[in-house]
Structure 1
Amino acid sequence: MSETQKSIFITGAASGLGREVARYFANVGWFVGLADVNEKGLDETAALLPAGQWSRHRLDVTDRAQWKAAVADFAKHTNGHMTVLFNNAGIGSGGPIQDMTDEDIDKMIAINLTGVISGTRACFDLLKNTSDACVLYTSSAAGIYGSAGLSVYSATKFAVRGLAEAHDIEWRPYGIKARSLMPGFIDTNIIGAVDTNSNMTGKEKLQSAGVEVSPVSIIGPAAWDAIHGDKVHTPVNKMAKQLAFSARWFPNRLRKQLGLLGGLGDVVKPSAQ
């Protein structure tokens, strides 16, 4: 890449939000680091990008040694710079907490929170060496108000939201911003699986209940606006914006409305990083 070209390192780049942000930023001239455990998915993402605009990194975000190796490899392509870390990798699974397995809980925390923290630490030096650098975290509308049936997932997304707020202050002396995206339901594989007790996908269940599901194309412009804007948190789509407004001004009414909707655990199925 050239000395003036900006760069973004994306975890969870093999599908969903990560793939779409990779496509969007590559198409406006940024160099894109693609990182994921899903190597087939990485190849599919890379095929969507202009030649010479990307590097590919196998990365399990729960493995700190792999973080170190992936970031060092990325630095070789970017002259030791990283304009944006899109700390996006995550998984979702739901159900009443008493019915979740220890393994499911531990895995979700390891990927959605500990892996995010490890990434922030691994990328600090590259971000510090880059002007106008930013860490962009993927939180969720489930990080605005706790979601029944998604309590552990929701807790991890509240934690990610807290990281963004803390690091935006903590890293101010280094010229590094921190931002978070808080999307509502987006049309990705996390809601695409068919429930074993139904012939409907999570997306179809949501739509039948009148819940908005936005196209994944919404996320690229949202990420761009977030890293170039002044707000720490960016609710993405109408649902998330309404939730943020209600959580601030009408929390009791919101709690009642969410109670009527019921648990959301049956529309979110486990997905890879």
Structure 2
Amino acid sequence: MSEQRAIFVSGGASGIGRAIAELFAARGWFVGLGDIDSAGMAALAAMLPAGRVSTHQLDVRDRGAWERALAEFIAAAGRLDVLANNAGIPLGGALADNSPEEITRCLDINLKGALFGAQAAFPHLVHSAPGSCLLNTASAAGIWGTAGASVYSATKFGVRALTESLDGEWAEHGIAVRSLMPAFIDTPLLDHAPNVTSNERIRQRVLDAGLEITPVSDVAEAAWAAVHGERLHTPVGKTARRLAFASRWMPARLRRMSRASARPMGR
């Protein structure tokens, strides 16, 4: 087995995945990028150290695609130490306004994709344990349900539950399981409309609400700390940390604030 540590990042062509890939590559790791965006992966790969990156076409909704991508990655890297189970999409708006197609796509990518990734990575992480890690990208929306983003929140609560479940299930194998819980991160996802009925960008809604947008580099550093640390869930950004504190110590107050400020994203 190769001695160089290796990380595979789903959704690695942009946003949080790209930032994680850049940071781990800069610190000497072999990096695999998995994404449906071939052009984005190629552009990023050209910027990373030669001989320490591979790219893999991956639709996380396809269990077979996970098997193929990870097999290709192992052939290139020789091992898998960390799976950054990161691919995801946003969905906002009142539940009544979300189409069945939008709901299905969000569930399939954010939750089913994370389950398939964990399942496919398991034998490879066992092989490199102890010291291997499953790193799931959850969200501050998995700390407290977000009004106007019920489907997205449900998927991220699911990712949180997956993390907690596998933390227990995989402990005997020496595999660490961790999650990141970022709030609003400065990535291209903020420039999407929350759903098909809205022309307003998520970024503008965040700014109008007076919330901060956290640099994506902060998430990459949090990913590094999570892989090398003991903390199960890592909130990233002031909003996420405040939400985690309030959900634990002031849940009734948080509920009142959530109901008072609720304006479904996309309206």
Residues 197, 35 of structure 1: alpha-carbon distance in 2 compared, 3 angstrom cutoff: closer
Q: Identity of aligned pairs, percent?
A: 46
| Closer/same/farther in 2, CA of residues 261 and 49 from structure 1, 3 Å limit | farther
Cα distance 1:149–1:60, how it changes in 2: closer, same or farther (>3 A)?
Answer: same
Corresponding residue pairs, total? 264
Query: What is the aligned partner in structure 1 of residue 144 from structure 2?
Result: 145
Q: Which moved more, 1:252-261 or 1:135-144?
A: 252-261
Tell me what 2:45 maps to: 46
Alignment-derived partner of residue 65 in structure 2: 66
Mapped to 2, the partners of 1:261 and 1:226 lie a distance apart of 32
Counterpart residue identity of residue 141, structure 1? A
Corresponding residue for 1:35? 34
Q: Distance in 1 between matches of 2:31 and 2:198?
A: 40
Q: Indicate conservation of the 8 Å contact 2:198/2:266, yes or no.
A: no
What are the Cα deviations for residues 6-41 of structure 1, in whole angstroms up to 9, with x where unaligned? 110000011100000000000000000000001111
Change (3 A) 1:194 1:111: closer
Within 5 A, what are the aligned runs for 1:258-269? 258-266=258-266
AA partner of residue 218 (structure 2) = I
- Give how far 1:215 is off: 1.2
SS where residue 12 of structure 2 aligns?
Answer: coil
Are the counterparts in 2 of residues 150 and 263 from structure 1 also a CA contact under 8 Å?
A: no
Amino acid at match of 1:215: P
Cross-structure match for 2:210: 210
Contact preservation (8 Å) 2:94, 2:266: no
Q: Alpha carbons of 1:48 and 1:114: their partners in 2 closer, same or farther (altered >3 Å)?
A: same
1:194 deviates by: 6.0
State the alpha-carbon separation in 2 of the partners of residues 197 and 109 from structure 1.
Answer: 20
| Distance of 1:124 and 1:194 partners within structure 2 | 35
1:96-143 Cα deviation digits (max 9, x unpaired): 111111111111111111111111111111100103000000000000
Q: Counterparts of 2:201 and 2:214 in 1: how far apart (Å)?
A: 15
State the partner residue of 2:174: 175
User: In the TM superposition, what is the alpha-carbon distance from 1:264 to its structure 2 partner?
Assistant: 5.0
Contact 1:9–1:86 under 8 Å retained in 2: yes
For structure 2, list consecutive stretches of 5 or more residues without a partner in the other structure. none
Does residue 1:251 correspond to 2:248, yes or no?
Answer: no
Does the CA-based 8 Å contact 1:147-1:263 persist in structure 2? Answer: no
Q: Describe the shift of the 1:209–1:63 C-alpha distance in structure 2 as closer, same or farther (beyond 3 A).
A: same
Q: Counterpart of 1:129 in structure 2: which amino acid?
A: H
Question: Matches of 1:193 and 1:94 in 2, distance apart?
Answer: 10
The answer to whether the 8 A contact 1:168-1:178 is kept is: yes
What secondary structure is seen at the aligned counterpart in 1 of 2:181?
Answer: strand
Q: Contact (CA 8 Å) 2:94, 2:264: kept in 1 or not?
A: no
Where does 1:103-182 land on structure 2 (aligned, <5 Å)? Answer: 103-131=101-129, 132-182=131-181
Is the 2:91–2:149 Cα contact (8 Å) retained in structure 1?
A: yes
Counterpart secondary structure, 2:128: coil
Structure 2 partner of 1:96: 94
* In 1: Cα distance, 2:146 partner to 2:190 partner: 15
The aligned counterpart of 1:85 is 83
SS at match of 2:68: helix
Residue in 1 aligned with 2:191? Answer: 192
TM-score when scaled to structure 1? 0.92
C-alpha contact (below 8 Å) 2:205/2:265 kept by paired residues: no
CA deviation after TM superposition for structure 1 residue 169, in Å: 1.1
Which residue in the other structure is 1:24 paired with? 23
Alpha-carbon distance, 1:53 to partner: 1.2
2:235/2:244 contact within 8 Å kept? yes
Matching residue's letter, 1:206: V
- Could you tell me how far apart the structure 2 residues matched to 1:52 and 1:248 are? 46
